[in-house]
Amino acid sequence: MKRPVRVLFVADGPAAGGATAAAIGADPAIEVLARCASAVEAVDLIAALAPDVVLLYASAADPGGRALLERAAAEGGAPVLVADARNGPAESYSALRERVRGAGAGRRAHPARPAPSPGASPSQLARGAQGVSLIAIGASTGGVEALVRVLSRFPADTPPTVVVQHMPALFTASFAARLDSLCAPTVREAWDGAPLERGCVYVAPGGPAHLEVQWSPARRVRLTPTEPVNRHRPSVDVAFASIARAGVPHVVAALLTGMGRDGAEGLRAIRAAGGRTIAQDRDSSTVYGMPRAALEIGAVDHATPLGAIADAIFTPEISVREAI
């Protein structure tokens, strides 16, 4: 039996398109993975959930947001269908369901692994990993696909790695599972008390707690239910600051694409504590907010293209030589 066509439903408000989403999801051949209240919110869920079809219920879609959505969907190979809501139900639910089924017919294979990036060889990355004790990565808008690109190059015996990606609580487990299918290390949604082990990547769960790192007496993940920081929970700044306070030696931290400033101060704290710090560059960022903030306050010396970030983490001598 074929699995259902997996649909990400995108409206322009939390209450918009509810009847349409319900009608589409009533078809046993269609599964509505999630409803998003904006195109910007949908960008990371496209990469996290790998839908077969993106259905945009557009009554007054922001052109910039829609362009961002279509770019993200194209990168994931999912077609974008538009149900124009401005003039009422111009298309019957049965016709819309038929369009969704047709568009998703060729998209039911498991996602392929990302194509290898040029740069350091797998053996060079594996050797470089031996000199790193902990890796920390933070990201927001556009970060899901960026994380796929970066983490898919990590060696199987990678140092323990913590990831904070701004994402709704319901989807971080699915995102971790997708990363696990694409990456050599084991990728899990983090839990309180999780031991920080080599060969493992820990994704901060969305929801009521921040992720922090405990390094002594035991090396563990801690989830702390405190107030949002920079309007986010989990916050990249909280995770990075905990690493700086713990005095983790030989740590590497990277700040990827995203809106706002979350992570910039924490990255600076890690650098001040002796860690190596990396920020994604403007050209490869979906939104050049968080990395730019880090550069502006001196948390990093220069920005790094997305395709070179794994090299910068594990083989900085190769990354620097190629940049020159």
The DSSP bridge partners found for residue 5 are 30
Residue appearing with tokens 């990302």: 114
CA 6 to chain centre: 19
Peptide bond just before 51 cis, omega within 30 deg? no
Cβ neighbours of 246 (radius 10 Å): 17
The CA–CA distances, whole Å, from 76 to 73, 134, 137, 169, 254 equal 5, 30, 22, 22, 24
CATH 3.10.20.30 fits 122-323, yes or no: no
10-residue averages of pLDDT along the chain (324 residues): 86 77 92 87 84 82 73 83 66 87 72 61 92 97 93 97 93 93 97 98 96 97 96 97 96 96 98 98 95 98 94 78 40
240: phi then psi, degrees, rounded to nearest 5: -65, -45
Q: How far apart are CA 44 and CA 47, in angstroms?
A: 5
Joined together, the tokens standing for residue 158 give 């990678």
pLDDT for residue 316: 85
Which residues in the chain are classed under CATH 3.40.50.180?
Answer: 122-323
Closest-CA residue to 24 (of 117, 99, 118, 123): 99
Question: What DSSP line would sit under 123-161, residue for residue?
Answer: HHHHHHHTT-SEEEEEE-TTHHHHHHHHHTTS-TTPPPE
Question: Are the beta carbons of 125 and 132 closer than 8 angstroms?
Answer: no
Numbers of helices and strands, H then E, in the chain:
12, 13
> Given 3.30.420.40, 1.10.10.10, 3.30.110.70, 3.40.50.2300, which CATH number is that of 5-104?
3.40.50.2300
Q: How far apart are CA 250 and CA 159, in angstroms?
A: 10
Closest-CA residue to 51 (of 75, 76, 26): 76
pLDDT for residue 273: 97
The region, left, alpha or beta by phi > 0 then psi within -120 to 50, assigned to residue 191 is beta
Which residues in the chain are classed under CATH 3.40.50.2300?
Answer: 5-104
Catalytic residues: 140, 166, 262
Q: How far apart are CA 238 and CA 223, in angstroms?
A: 11
Counting Cβ atoms within 10 Å, is residue 243 exposed (0-12), middle (13-18) or buried (19+)?
Answer: buried
Q: How far apart are CA 185 and CA 193, in angstroms?
A: 19
Cα atoms found within 13 Å of the Cα of residue 196, Cβ hemisphere only: 24
